[in-house]
Amino acid sequence: MAGAVDLSALKSRAEAAANSAAQPPSGGGDGAAGQAHPAIIEVTEADFQAEVVERSMQVPVVVDLWATWCEPCKQLSPALEKLAREGNGAWVLAKIDVDANPRIAQLFQVQSVPMVIAVAGGQPVDGFAGAQPEPQLREWISSLLNALRDQLPGIRAAEEGASEAEPEEEPEDPRFTAAEDALEQGDFAAAEAAYQQILDSEPNNEQAKAALMQVRFMARAEQADPSAIERADTAPDDLDAQIAAADAEVAFGKVDEGFTRLIQAVKRTSGDDRNRVRTHLVEMFEIFPEGDERVAKARRNLASALF
């Protein structure tokens, strides 16, 4: 697409339009115009020369030509905006409503939308029509930056600035490193002891607490016996059997079944027995990531069983 159109043709029109009341910025194809970001700009005929042509002398400007009635635009625009935010200023996304800015649409010879044009050094250098998945967009942007890095000074400056701004990684805690090393070697006892030692000195260390629960379950899961489930089904009042069966079910991926088994045991028991089952179930919750819907459901059911 290089040299396909002469962008300077808009200069006189833009200057004339700037002397009259400029059009208000139009909303993006995804309705996210309110999310201001220096690398995402709304462009009209009045400011096209400054925001696209002149800016493209420093960094590539990716022009997103869209329309409010365009459904594919509603998928493409958010993806481009996400990548622009990640770009840290190495390139700029210019969003242009073709209905509100027909001269720009005519300039780019727009036949359909969405249409994306990369502008560098005041001229179009590449582009495509139609919506594209994010991986392809990311690859396209990367290729664009690689091709233009030595020509446009703003790319390297933005990338170097972003690199300098990245916070230094915190040094690894040797206590956790020792525990993780033991875990990798399959030494669950050593890993459990290491995490417990951390908690002995820092009782509120949530990372160590969650890791300890995971290690304990992994040790039990390694010994899980599928026949434990059948034995527990024939002995509903045997708490050891119920707990072993629940461990086996969770270990074999039957998470809901394992949770339900222990909740039913809570309903059938009282006193120390009930507390033992409840504690075991709550510890099992800790091995799952926050927000797991199976855990949320089981917590609600446990609360109903208790109260």
Are 291 and 214 spatial neighbours (Cβ–Cβ below 8 Å)?
no
Q: 63 an active-site residue?
A: no
Catalytic pick from 7, 40, 70, 182?
70
226 cis-preceded (ω within 30 degrees of 0): no
CB atoms within 10 A of CB 13: 16
Q: At what angle do helices 271-285 and 293-306 cross, to 10 degrees?
A: 170
Is 145 annotated as catalytic?
no
Question: Cα torsion for 76, 82, 85, 86, to the nearest 10°?
Answer: -120
Residues in Cβ contact with 232 at an 8 Å cutoff, skipping those fewer than 6 apart: 238, 241, 242, 244, 245, 246, 261
Catalytic residue (choose from 41, 59, 73, 213): 73
Give catalytic residue positions: 70, 73
